[in-house]
């Protein structure tokens, strides 16, 4: 998905027999796109996928970025420890960070909340508890990519020479597990509120019925949560409230609103189950600006061509 205001032109083409999607991307040669990925793309990327993306970078100038959301989601998985589905989370997460090291620009993209609140002039409400520091995040990525054991990351238990130059406190995966668990519970509770305000089925004529639900979602995840509960929308000045909503009516904010509307439609009209990960998909869209492209489908992303 491209940013809302950019000089990119993207044309999607689907082979009706194979159902494979291809994307033609037109852009000024002097201004190639920045491409960032959903976390699942990083975790499932194969060596051949990585080589294809490196070829795009060399031949077409694509610049690849990773986000703080990627970092938080992967550290959260690491903090859960082995599970039947992912018996070796350390190896899986480390491999993803090594791909990031090989492919991406060194600077991490800010968190979606940070990007949005800076855009609307409310970044002074950000709390370090919820919003990781970009510089520390970049350092932690290097620590994890170079680790030989989980002890090299946490400083607890077995350690190897890979961790000699790093402080013991540098990464605590369980901290991010707690944060994502809280997010999962919060987004589930808010989506469960939908039937209380939405008219069933949601149609073009009554879609305004979900506006209070969207406003509640935005106020919670874009102000109350990133301020670590210190600031509420009701406490903002009139000008600040106007800035907040204006940020959601154009550009990346409008794309975020459209994605939440789709979640509401799927929940009410099609009885889709609640997937807390939908929150992170929606939030990552807030990073769309300039000439950025967000790739969310790990089955189709390597079919980019220009």
Please tell me the pTM assigned to this model. Answer: 0.87
Which residue has 């090594």 as its token pair?
Answer: 98
Is 294 in a helix, a strand, or coil? strand
Instruction: Note down pLDDT in tens along the chain; length 306 residues.
Output: 555 446 788 887 887 888 777 777 888 888 899 999 999 999 999 999 999 899 989 998 999 999 999 999 999 999 999 999 999 999 999 999 999 999 999 999 999 999 999 999 999 999 987 788 888 899 899 989 999 888 888 876 545 555 555 554 468 899 999 999 999 999 999 999 999 988 889 999 999 999 999 999 999 999 999 999 999 999 999 999 999 999 999 999 999 999 999 999 999 999 999 898 888 999 999 999 888 999 987 555 555 543
In order of 36, 37, 41, 92, 303, the CA distances from 297 in angstroms are 12, 9, 7, 19, 11
CA distance linking residue 92 with residue 95, whole number of Å? 5
CB 214 within 8 A of CB 261: yes
Strand-pair partners of 34: 63, 292
CA distance linking residue 303 with residue 171, whole number of Å? 35
Strand-pair partners of 13: 22
| Closest C-alpha among 112, 105, 140 to residue 126 | 112
What strands lie across the sheet with 9-14, from one edge to the other? 9-14, 21-26, 304-305
> pLDDT tens digit string along 82-123?
999 999 999 999 999 999 999 999 999 999 999 999 999 999
């Amino acid at each position: 998905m491209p940013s809302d205001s950019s000089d990119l032109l993207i044309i999607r083409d689907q082979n009706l027999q194979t159902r494979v999607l291809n994307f033609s991307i037109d852009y000024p040669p002097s201004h190639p796109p920045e491409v960032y990925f959903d976390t699942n793309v990083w975790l499932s990327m194969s060596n051949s996928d990585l080589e294809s993306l490196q070829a795009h970078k060399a031949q077409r100038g694509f610049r690849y970025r990773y986000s703080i959301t990627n970092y938080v989601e992967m550290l959260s998985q690491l903090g859960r420890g082995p599970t039947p589905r992912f018996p070796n989370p350390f190896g899986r997460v480390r491999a993803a960070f090594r791909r990031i090291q090989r492919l991406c620009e060194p600077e991490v993209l800010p968190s979606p909340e940070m990007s949005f609140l800076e855009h609307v002039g409310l970044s002074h409400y950000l709390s370090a508890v919820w919003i990781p520091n970009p510089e520390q995040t970049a350092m932690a990525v290097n620590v994890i990519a170079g680790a030989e054991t989980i002890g090299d990351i946490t400083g607890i238990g077995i350690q190897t020479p890979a961790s000699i130059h790093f402080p013991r406190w540098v990464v605590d995966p369980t901290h991010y597990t707690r944060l994502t668990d809280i997010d999962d519970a919060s987004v589930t509770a808010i989506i469960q509120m939908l039937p209380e305000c939405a008219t069933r089925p949601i149609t073009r004529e009554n879609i305004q019925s979900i506006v209070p639900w969207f406003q509640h979602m935005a106020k919670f995840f874009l102000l109350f949560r990133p301020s670590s509960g210190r600031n509420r929308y009701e406490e903002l000045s009139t000008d600040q409230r106007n800035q907040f909503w204006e940020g959601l009516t154009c550009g990346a904010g409008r794309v975020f609103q459209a994605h939440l509307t789709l979640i509401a439609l799927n929940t009410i009209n099609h009885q889709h189950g609640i997937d807390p990960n939908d929150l992170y998909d929606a939030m990552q869209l807030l990073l769309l600006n300039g000439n950025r492209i967000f790739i969310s489908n790990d089955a189709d992303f390597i079919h980019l061509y220009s």
